[in-house]
Chain A
Amino acid sequence: MAEDNNLNDNEDDDLDLKSLNDEDLVAQMHDDLYDGLKAEIAEGVNILLSRDWEPYEVLTKALVEGMRIVGIDFRDGILFVPEVLMSANAMKAGMAILRPLLAESGAPQMGKMVIGTVKGDIHDVGKNLVSMMMEGAGFEVIDIGINNPVENYIAALEEHNADILGMSALLTTTMPYMKVVIDALKAKGVRDDYVVLVGGAPLNQAFADSVGADAYCVDAAVTVEIAKDLMARRQGSGVDRMTLAAEG
């Protein structure tokens, strides 16, 4: 696939996206997402919107489907972190245009996730990948950034009425803070209101179990699969809605 894309790069240099019909343009956007081409994705989104596509339709058919392909190849070891970061940044460019329009139109969502790295931890590459992959899968993501004390998590969960809490840590010295957050949720009697997902290089399933998380997510692609699965168990209608919309 990579070779094909490289060959296409030259051909695409002069490609006028406006000249493509909707079907070809969406296919081209899938390729552009795969190749991490930010400007092309932004242009493609604007073209589809100018053709009276609903923002939600652009999201699901052009971006979500494109990121789904990226996610599969990441999971299968065909794409690696740098390439997926490039795709995520391209996705971000598209989402910057769509996000306000989606909010206005009240489009359906898979669920709402609050995510951030824990107190003392500034390492956010994994967290950012998860954010974009989740957004690419149709979740609303409230990214509260790095170095978060428990108060930040709880405030964001309450403010946004979130379904999922995602916590990330790279350091063995900071990962125990995840238990502090989960214990705080228990103390407030709201632990079971949220799906709690944890991830980061030094974590494993045993750690996730020991701190009382719902799941350990080994990478961004797996996070999406687990989140979908757990949300389907909690509120299957959201997933069905999204799937039907994506399938057109």
Chain B
Amino acid sequence: MTNIGPGTLAGSAEKRPGLLIACGALAREIMAVLDAGGLDGLDVTCLPAHLHIRPQLIAEAVRAKVRLGKQSHENVFVLYADCGTGGDLDAVCAEEGVTRIPGAHCYEFFAGAETFAAMSDAEPAAFYLTDFLVRHFDRLVYAGLGLDRYPELLDDYFGNYRRVVYLAQTKNPDLEAQAKAAAVRLGLDYEYHFTGYGGLAAFTTHANQTAKQAANQRVST
């Protein structure tokens, strides 16, 4: 991953074609898509994954990254779903003239909007995990909710849930075992649903294509 920092391209007269600004929870998946597709028109920069639990900070953090990115890149794309910003992120994207991946959250763009809606309708009491959340379950979910210190709060947090649904981006037996163990730990049933990279792959591929076409057009003119 090319993770640009402030001023990385300072002094460079020529801007690079495309920049993807993403949630840190998606970094590994984005890299996999870029590598698999040989997508070389995009640089990637991520915001900290812990913003996931403080969504009120996301929109302005993205705005700052967009403004910085525009100094060094011709096209900027946002790989964040609404992520609990309540439309604030859409407002920022509109004001800054950039596009973001459609969807309410990463579960939706991994599974696909229709599939996710059907899953939610069928079982509203589902707690979703992705590859990232399985990998970091102990730190982000269990300790993040204070359950390491106050295990008696388990029912306060998960009493209304009935099952863990693991939306898997990769076919990885180790992660599946960890996801099952997480479900047991939370006292919930377990369900596995392979999604692959879903909308993330489509959006990243499209962004790469858009950035390269724009760059080619500039060269030819």
Instruction: Select one of A36, A83, A147, A203 contacting B86, CB under 8 A.
Output: A203
Q: Kindly state whether residue A226 has any CB partner on chain B within 8 Å.
A: no
A173 contacts the other chain (CB 8 A)? yes
Q: Which residue of B lies closest to A122 (CB)?
A: B160
Q: Interface readout for A181-208 with B: 1 if CB under 8 Å, 0 if not?
A: 0000000000000000000011110110
A82-B149, A202-B55 known; A125 vs B84 contact (CB < 8 Å): no
Complex interface: chain A residues within 8 A of B146 (CB): 80-83, 85
B161 touches A202 (CB 8 A): no
Whether A207 touches B124, Cβ cut-off 8 Å, given contacts A82-B149, A146-B160, A202-B55, is: no
CB distance from B139 to the nearest CB of A (A): 14
Q: Which residue of A lies closest to B143 (CB)?
A: A82
Give a binary string over B191-215; 1 marks a CB under 8 Å from any A CB, 0 the rest.
0000000000000000000000000
* Complex Cα gap A173–B108 (Å): 11
A121 to chain B: closest residue by CB: B124
Tell me if B87 is interfacial: C-beta within 8 Å of chain A: yes
A172 near B150 with CB under 8 A, answer no
Least CB separation from B103: chain A residue? A172
Cβ-neighbour of B153 out of A85, A123, A203 (below 8 A): A85
Which positions 117-172 of chain B face chain A at CB distance < 8 Å?
117, 120, 124-125, 145-147, 149-150, 152-153, 156-157, 160-161
- Which residues in A have their C-beta under 8 angstroms from that of B157? 125
Shortest Cβ gap from A40 to chain B (Å): 15
Q: Which of B84, B125, B149, B152 contacts A201 (CB 8 A)?
A: B84
- Give how many B residues have a beta carbon under 8 Å from the other chain's beta carbons: 24
- Chain A residues positioned under 8 Å from B149 (CB to CB): 82
Residue of B nearest to A82 (CB): B146
Q: Is B85 an interface residue (CB 8 A)?
A: yes
B82 located at the interface, meaning its Cβ lies under 8 Å from any Cβ of chain A in the complex: yes
Find out whether the CB atom of B86 lies under 8 angstroms from the CB atom of A202: yes
B104 at the interface (CB under 8 A from A): yes
Q: Which A residues between 156 and 190 are near B, CB-CB below 8 angstroms?
A: 171-173, 175
A207 and chain B: residue at smallest CB distance: B86
A123 surroundings in chain B (CB, below 8 A):
160
Question: Nearest Cβ in chain B — how far from A113, in angstroms?
Answer: 20
Contacts of B125 in A (CB 8 A): 122
Per DSSP, chain B at the interface is loop
The listed residue with most A CB atoms (<10 A of its CB), out of B120, B145, B156, is B156
Of listed B84, B125, B147, B149, residue having the most chain A CB within 10 A: B84
Question: Within 8 Å CB of A124, what residues of B?
Answer: 160
Q: Does B88 contact A (CB under 8 A)?
A: yes
Please state if A202 and B84 are interface contacts (CB–CB under 8 Å): yes
Q: Which residue of A lies closest to B161 (CB)?
A: A122
Q: How far is the CB of B84 from chain A (nearest CB, A)?
A: 5
A-side contacts of B85, CB under 8 Å: 202
Residues of B within 8 A of A125 (CB): 156-157
Instruction: Choose one: B150, B160, B161; the contact of A82 (CB below 8 Å).
Output: B150
B82 neighbours in A (Cβ, 8 Å): 172, 202
Q: Report yes or no: A82 in contact with B86, Cβ–Cβ below 8 A.
A: no
Q: Is the CB of B120 within 8 A of A82?
A: no
Q: Identify the closest chain A residue to B149 (Cβ).
A: A82
Q: Are A173 and B120 in contact (CB under 8 A)?
A: yes
Q: In the assembled complex, which residues on chain B have CB atoms less than 8 Å from the CB atom of A204?
A: 86-88
Closest 3 pairs (CB-CB, A-B): A82-B146, A202-B86, A122-B160
24 contacts between A and B (CB under 8 A): A36-B150, A81-B145, A82-B150, A82-B153, A85-B146, A85-B150, A85-B156, A86-B153, A89-B152, A120-B124, A122-B160, A124-B160, A128-B156, A146-B160, A171-B104, A172-B82, A172-B84, A173-B117, A201-B55, A201-B84, A202-B84, A202-B85, A203-B86, A207-B87
Besides A36-B150, A172-B82, A202-B82, 16 more A-B contacts (Cβ < 8 Å) are: A80-B146, A85-B150, A85-B156, A89-B153, A122-B161, A124-B160, A125-B157, A172-B86, A201-B55, A201-B84, A202-B55, A202-B85, A203-B86, A204-B86, A206-B86, A207-B86
List residues of chain A with CB under 8 Å of any chain B CB: 36, 80-83, 85-86, 89, 120-125, 128, 146-147, 171-173, 175, 201-204, 206-207, 218
